[in-house]
Chains A and B, each alone.
Chain A
Amino acid sequence: MRGTARVRPGLPLHPRTLWIFALCYIVAANLAGGSSWWGLVGLSFLLVVVGWMLSISWRKVLRGMWIPTPFLAAGVAMVFTTPGDVWFVVPGVDLPVTVQGGWKYLEIAWKVYLCWTVAAVVFQSRRPEEILQGLAALRVPAALVGILAVMLRYLEVLVGEGRRTLRAKTARTGRARLGFRRLSRDAWLFRVYGALVGNLFLRALARAQRVHLAMLARGYDGRLLPSPGEGRMTEQDWGMVSLAVLLPLIILLGGGR
């Protein structure tokens, strides 16, 4: 159809299935590597297939792939600290890079991105409320799921509020940086930021109390989400759950650790 994007409906899996799949996949990815590089290759292929089945937007997923990068950047140290045969010495600083360290880092980077991507693929394939219903279906305490639901509901409002306050602060005080050089100015800046956070707390508290009273008035009894029992597990769900449970076993049998 001209003018409208073609949207292929994804596999209608129960959110509980998605949680189980993500967790089992991550366990399998952690077991893979070492002598079973084929396991990482297989899991990567499976991830692409699952992404296609769930009709997720790869562009949206890939946009967030910078998130684990700072941790991986800090992890580069392991190529120098892992004992083993020296591959080459970094000129200028005389730091030896070991072959074992290089392989270990490559393996960890691969695992980190696999685990990160499966979470992104699975959780971006459903609306947040559905993901929370999956959590409730896994018997996570209702109080915690309820808190998450309210938090998600008011997250944007309060983050927006925080950013607006920050913009107002910048308009008044400029973009002064904390350099730990001029103590009097830095102490003043900390007071400014502290007042922003304190102010945000007061606004959040006022809003929380209004929400609390309004919900009590509507007969709220501590349950926010409908019972997850409505969505029944289909054959597709059971197939996916079976595959998920088998994944770590396959990796273990194939020489994983």
Chain B
Amino acid sequence: MFSFLLLHIPDGFLSLSVSGCGWLVAAAVLAWAVRRTSTRLGEAAVPLVGVLGAFIFAAQAVNFPILGGTSGHLLGAALAAILLGPWSAVMVMTAVVIVQAVFFQDGGLLAMGCNLLNMAVLAVFSAHVVYRVLGRLSPRRWWAAVVAGWLSVVVSAAATGVELVWSGMFPASLAMPALLGVYGLVGVAEGLLTASAVGFLERSRPALLEETPLVEQDTAASLLTAGMTATLAVILLAPLASEAPDGLEHLAEHAGLAGTEVAPWFEVFPDYAIGFLGGTPISVVAAVAVGAVAVFALTSLVIRSISGDETV
């Protein structure tokens, strides 16, 4: 039966630069996740996370039949984020993606960085943040779980689309609507299934959703990570930015002022590109990344100096 979750990108589809960027980001987040889970849970909790990784894998085996002889299955990132907290969920989803790629050859080795970024990082953190924020707005968790499940699949599919477009496989005008259209629907099933599972646990073992041994309550750190993940997504999207003039430039062109501006005496990254890298996507991403880091460092310094708090 044809399965509806085609998010495991095989090797050969992504360019080396995209695969390399995916690996860099995924490895950085994973290293942080290993550190967090090791300090929070202790090295000895490895079996706990391992068996729960096997649970997500087994849950993916629960294929539910859909219209027209096809079937779908759970991605599981939202469920893992809700039940285990974001860092443990990143570890669990990472283990699942690695096992699928290495022992079942589902997903590539070089493409694994991007697959981890899509399914173990972006999906988990988007689901976690949405579930937490919506969960605070209403005591009824099920609709927060629906949105979290839906978003995890859509974000994962969008990231897959961006990586394929960035690798020059498909034009954005084809890949993004197709992927978001299909996975927007698949996400509904993921959301309903996640909400049903959370509803079942709420009825049978409510304590698990209040405070499981693996749930991390450090919301500030989670929000920081969510912000960094969102920034990262924007950085990766930067090469796809429209080349049309912005509002001010458009107005200047209409008013006949274009070309009369005074050139700056010094430019660090003209046109959001690094000189020696040319106008390549890597150049744009590197320039935007450097800018983002500079803004983050500057903001941190300002906040520290205002608050006098060393823990920012």
Closest partner residue, chain B, to A176 (CB atom): B65
Decide if A85 is an interface residue (CB 8 Å cutoff). Answer: no
Contact residues of A between 128 and 172, Cβ < 8 Å to B: 128, 131, 141-144, 146-155, 157-159, 161-163, 165-166
Distance in Å: Cβ of A241 to nearest Cβ of chain B? 17
Distance in Å: Cβ of A253 to nearest Cβ of chain B? 16
Chain A CB within 10 Å, residue with most, of B79, B103, B174: B103
Q: Which residues of A contact B105 (CB under 8 A)?
A: 64, 67, 116, 119-120, 123
What separation, in Å, do the CA atoms of A192 and B102 have in the docked complex? Answer: 32
Decide if B266 is an interface residue (CB 8 Å cutoff). Answer: no
Distance in Å: Cβ of A40 to nearest Cβ of chain B? 11
- Tell me whether A112 and B193 are in contact in the complex, defined as CB-CB below 8 angstroms, given that A143-B46, A150-B47 are known contacts: no
What separation, in Å, do the CA atoms of A134 and B117 have in the docked complex? Answer: 23
Are B67 and A162 within 8 A (Cβ)? no
- Contact partner of B47 (CB less than 8 A), chosen from A68, A131, A175, A211, is A211
- Contact partner of A189 (CB less than 8 A), chosen from B43, B50, B55, B64, is B64
Are B54 and A224 within 8 A (Cβ)? no
Chain B, residues 1-19, CB within 8 Å of chain A (1/0): the string is 0110010111111011001
What separation, in Å, do the CA atoms of A161 and B164 have in the docked complex? Answer: 36
Closest partner residue, chain A, to B43 (CB atom): A222
Chain A CB within 10 Å, residue with most, of B31, B43, B52, B193: B52
Contact residues of B between 35 and 92, Cβ < 8 Å to A: 37-38, 42-55, 57-59, 61-67, 74, 79, 83, 91-92
Tell me whether chain A's interface is mostly helix, strand or loop, or mixed: helix
Are A26 and B57 within 8 A (Cβ)? no
Are B102 and A78 within 8 A (Cβ)? no
Decide if B156 is an interface residue (CB 8 Å cutoff). Answer: no
Chain B, residues 114-155, CB within 8 Å of chain A (1/0): the string is 000000000000000000000000000000000000000000
Q: Which residues of B contact A75 (CB under 8 A)?
A: 13, 169
Selecting from A6-14, A47-55, A86-94, A199-207, the interface stretch reads A199-207
Are A68 and B10 within 8 A (Cβ)? yes
Q: Which residues of B contact A97 (CB under 8 A)?
A: none
What separation, in Å, do the CA atoms of A178 and B58 have in the docked complex? Answer: 21
Closest partner residue, chain B, to A152 (CB atom): B99
- Contact partner of A194 (CB less than 8 A), chosen from B30, B94, B95, B196, is B196
Closest partner residue, chain A, to B174 (CB atom): A81
Are A193 and B64 within 8 A (Cβ)? yes
What separation, in Å, do the CA atoms of A207 and B54 have in the docked complex? Answer: 11
Contact residues of A between 77 and 108, Cβ < 8 Å to B: 77-78, 81, 108
Decide if B304 is an interface residue (CB 8 Å cutoff). Answer: no
Are A222 and B46 within 8 A (Cβ)? yes
Q: Which residues of A contact B63 (CB under 8 A)?
A: 166
Closest partner residue, chain B, to A207 (CB atom): B51
Are B16 and A27 within 8 A (Cβ)? yes
Q: Which residues of B contact A71 (CB under 8 A)?
A: 6, 8-10, 13
Interface size class of B (residues with CB under 8 A): 35 or more
Closest partner residue, chain B, to A163 (CB atom): B61
Are A180 and B16 within 8 A (Cβ)? no
Q: Which residues of B contact A157 (CB under 8 A)?
A: 54
Closest partner residue, chain B, to A107 (CB atom): B12
Decide if B252 is an interface residue (CB 8 Å cutoff). Answer: no
Are B95 and A144 within 8 A (Cβ)? yes
Q: Which residues of B contact A247 (CB under 8 A)?
A: none
Decide if B234 is an interface residue (CB 8 Å cutoff). Answer: no
Chain B CB within 10 Å, residue with most, of A22, A67, A166, A197: A197
- Tell me whether A159 and B110 are in contact in the complex, defined as CB-CB below 8 angstroms, given that A212-B44, A222-B43 are known contacts: no
Q: Which residues of A contact B66 (CB under 8 A)?
A: 177-179
- Tell me whether A221 and B170 are in contact in the complex, defined as CB-CB below 8 angstroms, given that A108-B13, A208-B51 are known contacts: no
Chain A CB within 10 Å, residue with most, of B43, B67, B196: B196
Are B99 and A141 within 8 A (Cβ)? no
Closest partner residue, chain B, to A154 (CB atom): B54
Decide if B219 is an interface residue (CB 8 Å cutoff). Answer: no
- Contact partner of B58 (CB less than 8 A), chosen from A74, A77, A159, A205, is A159
Are A199 and B200 within 8 A (Cβ)? yes
Chain A CB within 10 Å, residue with most, of B44, B95, B105, B178: B105
- Contact partner of B52 (CB less than 8 A), chosen from A162, A177, A205, is A205
Are A200 and B59 within 8 A (Cβ)? yes
Decide if B285 is an interface residue (CB 8 Å cutoff). Answer: no
- Tell me whether A119 and B109 are in contact in the complex, defined as CB-CB below 8 angstroms, given that A111-B11, A212-B48, A215-B47 are known contacts: yes
Q: A29-B12, A116-B12 are in contact. List 17 more A-B contacts (CB 8 A).
A: A26-B109, A29-B11, A68-B10, A71-B6, A81-B171, A108-B12, A115-B108, A116-B105, A119-B109, A143-B46, A154-B50, A155-B54, A159-B54, A190-B192, A191-B200, A193-B193, A222-B42
Show 27 A/B contacts (Cβ-Cβ < 8 Å), sorted by A: A26-B11, A67-B104, A67-B105, A75-B13, A81-B171, A108-B12, A109-B12, A111-B12, A115-B109, A116-B10, A144-B30, A146-B47, A147-B46, A158-B51, A159-B61, A166-B62, A180-B67, A193-B62, A194-B194, A194-B199, A197-B197, A200-B58, A201-B55, A201-B201, A202-B205, A207-B51, A222-B46
Closest 6 CB pairs of A and B: A194-B196, A150-B50, A222-B43, A198-B200, A115-B11, A204-B55
